[in-house]
Amino acid sequence: MMYKIIVNLKTDPYPIFIGRGVSEKLPRFLADKDIGNYAVVITQRKIVSLHKGRIGCLLKGIPYRIVYVPQGETAKSQEWAFRIIETLLSENKGVLKKRIFLVCLGGGVVGDVGGFIASIYKRGIPFIQVPTTLLAQVDASIGGKTAINVRQAKNMVGTFYQPQAVFIDPEFITTLPKRELRQGFAEVIKYAAIKDKDLFTFLDKNSSEIQKLVPRYLEKIITRCAQIKAEIVSCDEKEKKGLRTILNFGHTIGHALEAALCYRRDFHHGEGVALGMICAAGISVKLGLCSQSVAEKLADLIKKYSLPVTARFDTQKVLASLTYDKKFVRGSIRMVLLTFVGKTRVCSRINLADIKKSLLKIKQ
């Protein structure tokens, strides 16, 4: 089964293809759309060694070269971005005129740095996203945000630049370490909580099949999440109307926890988002926006996907990093809260005392 979703932008709408083996359709797409005649594939050695066969099909009949970036955030740097740009320049030296396009084959790191390079090299060349982590398949590869990090902060330098297409093949996910899968599940639960009660119930009822990566279950949840993100992005491409804000559910406190716990190797973005969602739901109950049972259902679902509902942290450190947040103005902050499962309200004046109470509830 192949699903097709259109990211319906005013200029240059683009398709997202989802399904097992869908990456094999890339050569045909490239030929039909006349995207270019030479692919530079940005990826990581680990991905190529795990998926040799699949990558062979992905690039069948296309002249290409592979550029490897290191694992982790190091790749999202000025050094790596310009190293790759040097490679692109060196490809242009021959007699034959190459019309280069990029293929970002990897997780959010590869997609972010690759998309950024595509957007600035010669003021923009086409690129294709082939996300290989669950997080990238449901989130990072869709929406056109590209970024690299600078010494001071993550994602500080970047652009809005949309790919020509996104090819989501859930088969890539089968080799993902459990910890990386959890990162993706945190975002999947987020989509359900903010936008889709049926997805929430589906995640709850079928948690074992989904976590065993049974293909048709996996395809269903990825497709639904991609659809939700595509719809939101289509309405608010450049994040100017505030509609993308709801995608930040769980992220305000989540980011602060991540920052405060950066020394812990087992604490990543997904863990932060899970705990951030629990705090946001707790604050929603406290403000009378939603019932206790909504908050409990959310916590139960988070537990089912092996994400944390409590953690050890220094409350003052978390609060300190929250007050650095640009959304924090005069003692209060804007947060996405829940009214029901699948429904949100953006509240602009959440005070620090309520946040502190919610943190104390998740503290071990």
Ligand X SMILES: NC(=O)c1ccc[n+]([C@@H]2O[C@H](COP(=O)([O-])OP(=O)(O)OC[C@H]3O[C@@H](n4cnc5c(N)ncnc54)[C@H](O)[C@@H]3O)[C@@H](O)[C@H]2O)c1
Write out the residues near ligand X by the rule CB under 6 A: 44, 46-47, 50, 71-73, 76, 106-110, 112, 132-133, 135-136, 139-140, 143, 145, 155, 172, 175-176, 180, 183
178 noted as active-site residue: no
145 noted as active-site residue: yes
Shortest distance, CB of residue 82 to ligand X, whole angstroms? Answer: 18
Based on its alpha-carbon atoms, the radius of gyration of the chain, rounded to whole angstroms, reads 20
244 noted as active-site residue: yes
Shortest distance, CB of residue 331 to ligand X, whole angstroms? Answer: 28
Task: State the catalytic residue, choosing from 229, 237, 258, 271.
Answer: 229
187 noted as active-site residue: yes
Q: How many CB atoms lie within 10 A of CB 323?
A: 12
Task: State the catalytic residue, choosing from 51, 182, 269, 271.
Answer: 269
Residue type, position 229, single letter: K
51 noted as active-site residue: no
CA 344 to the chain's CA centroid: 20
Task: State the catalytic residue, choosing from 54, 182, 187, 258.
Answer: 187
- Strand-by-strand arrangement of the 38-43 sheet: 3-7, 14-18, 165-168, 127-131, 100-106, 38-43, 64-68
251 noted as active-site residue: yes
Task: State the catalytic residue, choosing from 51, 54, 145, 224.
Answer: 145
Residue nearest to ligand X (CB): 108
Q: What is d(CA 219, CA 214) in angstroms, rounded to the nearest whole number?
A: 9
Residues counted in the chain:
364
Helix, strand or coil for residue 24? helix
Which residues fall within 8 angstroms of residue 152, CB to CB, at 6 or more apart? none
Q: What is d(CA 299, CA 293) in angstroms, rounded to the nearest whole number?
A: 10
Q: Exposure of 98 by Cβ count < 10 A (0-12 exposed, 13-18 middle, 19+ buried)? A: middle
Shortest distance, CB of residue 327 to ligand X, whole angstroms? Answer: 17
Q: Which is nearer to ligand X, 233 or 322 (CB)?
A: 233
229 noted as active-site residue: yes
Shortest distance, CB of residue 173 to ligand X, whole angstroms? Answer: 6
Q: Which is nearer to ligand X, 8 or 175 (CB)?
A: 175
Q: Which is nearer to ligand X, 176 or 257 (CB)?
A: 176
Half-sphere exposure of 348 (CA within 13 A, CB side): 3
Q: Exposure of 120 by Cβ count < 10 A (0-12 exposed, 13-18 middle, 19+ buried)? A: middle
Task: State the catalytic residue, choosing from 123, 151, 326, 330.
Answer: 123
Shortest distance, CB of residue 111 to ligand X, whole angstroms? Answer: 6
Q: Which is nearer to ligand X, 254 or 282 (CB)?
A: 254
Q: Which is nearer to ligand X, 71 or 291 (CB)?
A: 71
Catalytic residue annotation: 123, 145, 187, 229, 239, 244, 248, 251, 255, 269
